[in-house]
Amino acid sequence: MVIGKADVSWTGSTLIVARTTELAEQLLADGELRCPLCNTGRLAAWGYGRQRIVRDRDGTTVTVQPRRTRCRSCSSTHIVMPAALQPRHADTTAVIGTALVHKANGLGHRRIATVIDRPVSTVRRWLRRLSPAHLERIYQDGARQLLALDPRRKPTVGLRSARRWT
């Protein structure tokens, strides 16, 4: 569910995804984030989640500590994550996205693991979690967003037949 701003979305009952950490902090300061559980309460900053280290595409690591929020009405707590991170993953969204692009281009999990320098089991787990229908939807959404940003540009990656994914 997207609320008020196209930059913030709810995923589940306790995780809020924002385009950037700075945007999330600004929305919290302005009192614009509402509780996804009660839908009426405004969220307030309430400390931070646990600190963790996340690997990026170029091999660097990023130390992050996501913002924790609390609803002023129902007292439920939520974590605000930047879109560049995935919950419960040690790699950034860019790394996982790169693996999906390679899969769309026909590479297998072992080859992808070698190319992006990640364990084979990790890459296999990422790819198994996504059904062909889900991958097609991700591709279609991405293509639509790309065309909205620049109508002259066309997506360069096309999904192969769904039979190849099974």
% of the chain exceeding 70 in pLDDT: 83
Angle between helices 120-128 and 93-104 (to 10 degrees): 80
pLDDT, tens digit (0-9, with 9 covering 90-100), for 70-116: 999 988 899 988 888 888 889 998 999 899 889 878 899 999 999 99
Type and span of the H or E element at 46: strand 43-48
Q: Please state whether the predicted TM-score (pTM) of the whole model is above 0.75.
A: no
- Half-sphere exposure for 13 (CA within 13 Å, toward CB): 4
